[in-house]
Amino acid sequence: MSFINFIKNTCSNLGNNSKPLYPILAISCANGIFRPTFTMMKKGENPESKKYAALREGITEVVAMPTYFVTGILGAKLGEKIAAKAHEADIAKRTKAGEVISETVKQEMKASAIKKGQAGLGLLAICFAAGVVIPALCSVVVTPVMKRIGKKPEQKPLDIKETAVKMPTVIRQTTPIVRPTFNNWNSGMKVGGV
């Protein structure tokens, strides 16, 4: 019964405090676990290329998770500041127009505006991270890491001390080849009538 209550409370808290950061972190975590696993389970692929692809996918998600986290939090903080300033400007405009708003209504409006600003700009920041920041970081981080991890033992240079094989000499014909020609060849067939 306590496990059911735990799930119920978790779902309730996530529903009440929904942020765009939570689902993207869950997706990134699942990708970090399952994509390399499924890549390694492919049949008929070269084992070395499977290891390389799985490792690259895992490193990409390791780079992506903290990037999503940081950009999501920064976007939410910036959204909070922008929404608070916009709300203050809106309240000042309404007060100047002669509208009377109580302090509790102002606080509720401010809380609602801040929540919307955090969610909206947090989502935009996460989308920006997914489209621009993470690919840039991956191109900077993943390639050097893969080069270090994937170092193969140096191959010995080929020791070519054998005598070279001589190419056969080509004999060219000096007299022209005469082909028979047919000057007046007629089979006696007529096409199209009598």
- From first to last of the 194 residues of the chain, give the pLDDT tens digit: 588 989 888 888 877 777 788 889 889 999 999 999 988 888 888 888 888 888 888 889 999 999 999 999 999 999 999 999 999 999 889 888 888 888 898 899 899 999 889 989 999 999 999 999 999 998 888 888 878 876 554 555 655 666 666 777 777 777 777 777 766 655 566 666 55
Residue 21: how many other CB atoms lie within 10 Å: 21
3-state secondary structure 20-70: CHHHHHHHHHHHHHHHHHHHHCCCCCCHHHHHHHHHHHHHHHHHHHHHHHH
Q: What is the reported pLDDT for 153?
A: 47
Dihedral angle over CA of 122, 126, 131, 137, nearest 10: 120
Alpha carbon separation from 106 to 40, 79, 88, 101, 123 (Å, rounded): 56, 18, 9, 7, 26
User: CB–CB of 39/57 below 8 Å?
Assistant: yes
Nearest to 60 by CA among 122, 127, 125, 136: 136
Q: What is the reported pLDDT for 139?
A: 86
